[in-house]
Amino acid sequence: MRRALISLGSLAAAGMLALAMPQSAFAANGTLVVNGVAYENPGPGCYPAGDDGAQIDNRTDTDVEVFADPACEDGPVTVISAYDSGSVAPGGSIKIA
DSSP 43-61: PSEEEE--TT-EEEEEEES
Indicate the pLDDT class of residue 74, thresholds 50, 70 and 90: confident
Angle at 46 between CA 20 and CA 49, to 5 degrees: 140
Q: Is the pLDDT of residue 5 over 50?
A: no
pTM here?
Answer: 0.72
Identify the weakest region by mean pLDDT among 26-30, 45-49, 84-88: 26-30
Beta sheet of 78-80, edge-to-edge order: 45-48, 93-96, 64-67, 78-80
